[in-house]
A and B are shown apart, each in its own frame.
Chain A
Amino acid sequence: MRYFTKEHEWIEVDGDTATVGITDYAQGQLGDVVFVDLPEPGRELTAGGEAAVVESVKAASDVYAPIDGRVTEGNPALESEPGLVNSAPEAEGWFFRMTLGNPAQLEGLMDAAAYQAFVATL
């Protein structure tokens, strides 16, 4: 099951871990991604708190943790190929994986249809 935040992160839940990235809409707004600053494994994240930084040619933008949890791994592919965030934002361009510290927080997030409706209002 995939959930979305109003800050344009997605979180794909698989068992007791989840994968986090930014949406296609978000990468389109950012433009060419040239660097991603990923959290170290073991870092404790808080829902809504800063988790990563994505740098386009022009600017740095924060990426927030969708829910509480602990980072288990960053996407090593982004180190050599940050452009994956542009070309495959909701697949190979994922940012990091994390534990589900508080799964109940998922209920406050949007599903794909709700997120599409949200983006349409922007």
Chain B
Amino acid sequence: MADADLLTLPLDGLHRALGGRMVPFAGYAMPVQFAEGVMAEHLWTREHAGLFDVSHMGQLTVAGEGAAAWLESLMPGDFLGLAENALRYSLLLTDAGGIIDDLMVTRRADDFYLVVNGATKAGDIAHMQARLPAGVTLTPRPDLALLALQGPAAAAVLEAMLPGVAALKFMRSGGFDWRGVPLWVSRSGYTGEDGFEISVPAGSVEALAQALLAHSEVKPIGLGARDSLRLEAGLPLYGHDLSPETTPVEAGLSFAISKRRKAEGGFPGAAPVLDQLFNGAPRKRIGLRFEGKQPVREGAAIFAGDAPVGVVTSGGFAPSVGAPVAMGYVESAHAADGTALAVEVRGRRLPATAAPMPFWQKNYVR
């Protein structure tokens, strides 16, 4: 894609002023790293607080009588029983149980608030609009920007600006006022660290970002470290580790199928997905560790003996682990932790071991 065709985010000017190296991502020009580089940004986030611009992600609201029931017709989460201001990780599924997108759904007093992936938001909206019943409205919110503040210092930094925010538990959210600007803040993120996602009117996002960056514990972090952080945390990335060809059970996301929905079904792909849940899936997402320092990337074939049994879907160097790690799919017979495997990189087979995820202990505040 030519740079001229890229959309710009509300923080584009700030990213460039901060020395961000801009790359195309999800149709937008986005910073892949700032001056200190991916390694330093990754480690900073694990030790202090990193500020990520995730405004490319789609923010939507769903309102109206029957909104919860309608969401349950699209996803396997329990939205009827979701408490106000609680959020749940869920999955838009095809009728075959394939994953259209992974997303966060929050029940608020007057609506449901959804955050979907940037590269898939147009397809998600079309999918949902085509299934919209009378009385339910779906509203894309391009007027909102989204920041993520992640890391062990995030709570103290944000509490100083938004008194009361540190009292939010993991996967809970609330409305806050910052200098007259209405914010919606969730204690969530995708780095494996404690942190927050902050939805803010686009016109106020630069002022908010500047206020956060003014704190000595906060540095801007690019997409490169966002990817290495989520990989270390064992979190799958849509379009790489998740696709319409993968089911929630294969992907290791069975926790997204709420207890009541397991019993009742009634979501797209319920029959094949519940069959896999109770009887086993043909393949599984696993973690991989290696003996040497050579990173293994997406697309590398996985072998058990001489037999190809799977493929790597995300891989790279894990800065906090200090070693390469990867995740991928293998036939279930080879998925047990500790299984000896091999991965082919540039024609050479490297020894690999199926390993538990996360690769780095998550630090959520429960």
Contacts and interface: CB of A to CB of B under 8 A. Distances in A.
Nearest to A53: B346
B227 interface: yes
A31 B38 contact: yes
Given A58-B224, A82-B293, A35 B317 contact: yes
B248 to A, nearest CB: 28
Interface string B306-335: 000000000011010000100000000000
Contacts of A75: none
A111 interface: no
Interface in B66-99: none
Contacts, number: 44
A119 to B, nearest CB: 16
Contact of A60 (B37, B228, B297): B297
Contact of B228 (A37, A53, A58): A58
Contacts of B294: 35, 37, 55
A57 B297 contact: no
A67 interface: no
B346 A57 contact: no
Given A53-B346, A57-B39, A58-B316, A35 B293 contact: yes
B82 to A, nearest CB: 36
Contacts of A57: 38-39, 42, 224, 228, 316-317, 319
Contacts of B38: 31-32, 56-58
A37 B260 CA distance: 51
Contacts of A82: 293
Interface residues of B, number: 19
A32 B293 CA distance: 14
B174 interface: no
Interface string A55-89: 11111100000000000000000000010000000
Interface in B19-33: 32-33
A76 to B, nearest CB: 14
B295 interface: yes
Listed from nearest, the 4 A-B pairs whose CB atoms lie closest are: A32-B39, A34-B317, A57-B38, A57-B317
Interface of A: 31-32, 34-35, 37, 53, 55-60, 82
A60 B39 contact: no
Interface in B25-52: 32-33, 37-40, 42
Nearest to B225: A57
B346 A55 contact: no
B100 to A, nearest CB: 27
B346 A31 contact: no
A57 B227 CA distance: 10
A58 B39 CA distance: 10
B128 to A, nearest CB: 33
Nearest to B323: A34
A56 B294 CA distance: 10
Contacts of B42: 57
Contacts of A55: 294-295, 317
Nearest to B223: A58
A56 B297 CA distance: 11
A32 B43 CA distance: 13
Contacts of A37: 294, 346
16 contacts: A31-B37, A31-B38, A31-B224, A32-B37, A32-B38, A34-B295, A34-B317, A35-B294, A35-B295, A35-B324, A37-B346, A56-B38, A57-B42, A58-B224, A58-B228, A82-B293
B119 to A, nearest CB: 17
A58 B346 contact: no
Contacts of A31: 33, 37-39, 224
Nearest to A60: B297
A32 B42 CA distance: 12
A82 B224 CA distance: 19
Contacts of B37: 31-32
A76 B147 CA distance: 44
Interface string B249-264: 0000000000000000
Name the residue among B294, B324, B346 with the largest chain A CB count within 10 angstroms: B294
Contacts of B295: 34-35, 55, 60
Contacts of B324: 34-35
A32 to B, nearest CB: 4
A55 to B, nearest CB: 5
Contacts of A32: 37-40
Contacts of B293: 34-35, 82
